[in-house]
A and B are shown apart, each in its own frame.
Chain A
Amino acid sequence: MRRRTAPSRIPVLPLSLSLLLLLLVSLVGGVALGAAGVGWAEVPRFLWAGLTGGTVRAGDAAAYTIVWEIRLPRVLIGATVGAGLAAVGVAVQALVRNALADPFVLGISSGAAVGANAVILLGAFAGLGVWALSASAFVSALAAMALVYAVARSPQGLTPLRLILTGTALAYGFQAVTTVMVFGAARGEAARSAMMWLLGSLGGATWAQVPLAAVTVAAGWAWLRRRAEALNALAMGDETAAALGVGPARLRRELFVVTAAVTGTVVAVSGAIGFVGLMVPHVARMLVGADHRRVLAVAPLAGAVLLVWADVLSRLVLAPAELPVGVITAVVGVPAFLLLMRRGGYAFGGR
């Protein structure tokens, strides 16, 4: 016999507000913690100076630069990426109606990796300067998505199984291309940074990336929230969705576009950070139930908090060297996730 009662659910409003508060604390914590020792007391002062355009003493200039120019954009990008991956994870799981899906199941990260590694290893698009990596990753991510879309299309529209199979198959192809590039690269250090990118890192975050990434993620999230009830219907099946006046084919196309835009942007600034997009949606469902209106209120905040702290650890564990943040999300996330899953009596597709 399966469980007889629903798991206890946490009211969504207090939970969201606490997560929001936790996120603010995490942002400050993420800025304060780092390999280069900047005193806790100094950090709020530097942040205040940066926000209000105030002045700092000449002796603090180096510490101020670390806080304002390096750590703060990095922490903000981390929160944005975490929120984006979690929101898109929810969307992809509804899109392919599969609990195992994550934002990368559609081949997008492997596609982006091809573009990114072309820049890292082969020095492609050098004319774009510092934007080469992000731009190349973004464009190749979108190209990969377009290819998946074109191949997965059928007279019945985008069916979940075709999407997953096409995405997975093409991902293998993209990975092969990346591997050839890594092995063909002459310089060992380049292979290391390619690896770093494949596992995800926030090391390249700059202020210039923040507005675009934040706007894309916020717009994607807003759209998903607006369509949350339709996502509920889609999760019950295409026939049910149609009977409730939600066109499943059209909704899938819309979801596909939103997923491509948000994942492409996120991957372009941070590489392929795994696990957040798979795990956070499930954790959100364990806490507040499967209704997408509530899941989408909680998951992005939880993803943001998780990634900010994962990034802090990635900077500190082997300081001054850095670990890829994807390693941290897996090392910390897997046990936490397994523990929650075993305790909660949470049903994955009734299994």
Chain B
Amino acid sequence: MRLDIDDVTIETAGTRLVEHVDLTVGSGAFVGLVGPNGSGKTTLLRSLYRALRPSGGVVRLDGGDLHAMDPRAAARVLAALPQESSAEFDFTVTEVVAMGRLPHQGRTAASDREICTRAMERTGVDHLADRGFLGLSGGEKQRVLLARALAQQPRVLILDEPTNHLDIAHQLDVLSLVRGSGLTVLAALHDLNLAAAHCDVLYVLDGGRIVASGPPHDILEPPLLAKVFGVRAHTVRHPATGARQLLFDLLPPTT
């Protein structure tokens, strides 16, 4: 399923957080959204999973207006991993994953169980089924939430900093899980090397506007990184794999 963000502007309390953003995620593509803190990544993503309504512009799923859809119908095709994880009550992993079935109608307990079990197997958390969610490690939690999103059986997946607080092995693990899901994915990512390695296309957001977009290695160039992130970047080749890697340090002071 194809996701089009068409001239979207988002205002809250009189402040424009996102301005005239155009962004397209082709069917089955993995698109990354990068940008400094406060550039509007989370705000833009929140408008996609309907925590916010854009004040201008349209979000389309295969051409249909997302915000005109019934909320539950929209949740059947678009799942999200928001940044929060602030549960007050200790649900078990099974219960958390089962919440992904909520938007679906005409379901039976047996088919729900089977779908949830499969989702948990895919993200490797089936052995945690009876554990309390609050007692899990950060990496386990993220994989459980991913299983919930998969149990939603969506066609589009929205991820907000899915690798936050994860160690490097779990970062790679989560992203390759998402990559392997075959879904249309839009993810906000902090780590530029990780983003470059996993995404088909990157969009760079700065001050609520898209300032660059394209294949990662075409756009993550030192001048852009200096302008947007305020860092000096060098490109090197990975000695073993030959993959391009970015190294960063502070910009030299200008007079």
Secondary structure call for the A interface: loop
A350 part of interface (Cβ distance < 8 Å): yes
B191 part of interface (Cβ distance < 8 Å): no
Q: Contact residues of A with B, CB < 8 Å? A: 2-6, 93, 97-99, 155, 229-230, 232-233, 235-240, 242-247, 285, 289-291, 346-350
Given known contacts A237-B85, A346-B90, A229 and B130 CB-to-CB distance under 8 angstroms: no
Please determine whether B88 and A247 come into contact, CB atoms closer than 8 angstroms.
no
B91 part of interface (Cβ distance < 8 Å): yes
Please determine whether B85 and A235 come into contact, CB atoms closer than 8 angstroms.
no
Q: Which residues of A contact B95 (CB under 8 A)?
A: 232, 289-291
Please determine whether A245 and B99 come into contact, CB atoms closer than 8 angstroms.
no
6 smallest CB-CB distances across A and B, nearest first, come from A245-B75, A239-B82, A350-B134, A245-B72, A243-B80, A290-B89
Beyond known contacts A230-B102, A245-B103: 19 more, CB 8 A cutoff: A2-B134, A97-B86, A99-B89, A155-B12, A232-B99, A236-B91, A237-B84, A237-B85, A237-B87, A239-B46, A239-B49, A243-B82, A244-B100, A244-B102, A245-B76, A289-B90, A290-B95, A347-B134, A349-B134
Q: With the chains together, A316 CA to B177 CA distance in Å? A: 64
Total chain B interface residues with beta-carbon distance under 8 A: 39
Please determine whether B88 and A239 come into contact, CB atoms closer than 8 angstroms.
no
CB B235 to nearest CB in A, in angstroms, measures 36
CB A207 to nearest CB in B, in angstroms, measures 38
Please determine whether A246 and B102 come into contact, CB atoms closer than 8 angstroms.
yes
Q: Which residues of A contact B92 (CB under 8 A)?
A: 6, 289-290
Please determine whether A243 and B49 come into contact, CB atoms closer than 8 angstroms.
yes
Q: Contact residues of B with A, CB < 8 Å? A: 12-13, 46, 49-51, 70-76, 79-80, 82-92, 95-96, 99-100, 102-103, 130-132, 134-135, 152, 158
Please determine whether A232 and B91 come into contact, CB atoms closer than 8 angstroms.
yes
Q: With the chains together, A126 CA to B115 CA distance in Å? A: 62
What are 13 inter-chain pairs, A to B, with CB distance below 8 A? A2-B134, A155-B13, A232-B102, A233-B99, A239-B46, A239-B51, A242-B50, A242-B71, A243-B79, A244-B102, A246-B102, A291-B95, A350-B134
